[in-house]
Structure 1
């Protein structure tokens, strides 16, 4: 269990998620007995990820494909990771301090990979955040667990996933409701899911920062606990 507070004291939400860890449905198709995961490193330590690759979405997608090869079903990782990849978009460079600290877990895989609701919840909001480097198509679900309210955010989806849905619509545990979107629909990234837990939305709708300034680390990690409390996948990942 990864704690997101400098006090190292689990929050009520962390406790509820930890207690119910075995009850969540897989967010993406994954069988730990046969599927392999590669933990990708997008920090400055990864010198193979050059500026040329980051500047070109096709080259970036090819890089991910080469890393995964035929051995790994998904690339995964990134929670609380101080990343260099956000230099590819001005979206993260506003203000004196750029945003580089990742608040979710990314699961990298083929376009069209299905996404399932890990537990029942209502559609809180959705949006097409159509800016280079942004989420693209996004859905946020609202949940209740042992009396604790929280939200799960799904970014970089297919546009078809936000067509015909409505706020307040209930999605049951295990229902397929979204898919990894292509670059033109997912903010111009290689296909992947950005999965994030958000305790309090602070009146935001269809969007919530998935990357923050390092100086705001404690504030944002407090509000966005480790998504692997739901995913339960990082234990199976092999480091690149």
Structure 2
């Protein structure tokens, strides 16, 4: 497994022109919504929705708006997809696996969260169907829970981009009245293939992603 991962990573690094872009978004709405979900009646089916699920939902929405980020570039041919098939980087006893949530862009938050948890469980137990480890058009790698503040995720070729999710940290900010306040922000590290994605494209993607994150409560009912 380690050999396969190494070969794929080396192929990606040697065959793509990657640049990593970093940005951050206010995390207050994200944290507040997660707290409400956790305290909700289990019968509503959202008490197990995690921060990662909310970020995945936002990432899919952003990728839907920017088709070149949910695409394959192979043999000089760029192929975009009508739907976003979301790859989730999973740390398992066997090594890194990336199961695919197929048609993630057609799912609401609860369905996306349920599918993601099921795939992660199958990957970590070693019983996942190999067919579910292929076909992703855009991947999310979340290291925020480990306290990582910034990193350069490697694209899962032939995909054109991958989103790294960083830790939530407290930073100084200027309040509405000009006062100094403490603000919690979540960081993102977006690696994109410069052969088809320019810096301005990456900036627009991150702008839309951070807007969804900042207003996640509105985004899930949109």
TM-score (norm 1): 0.27
TM-score (norm 2): 0.28
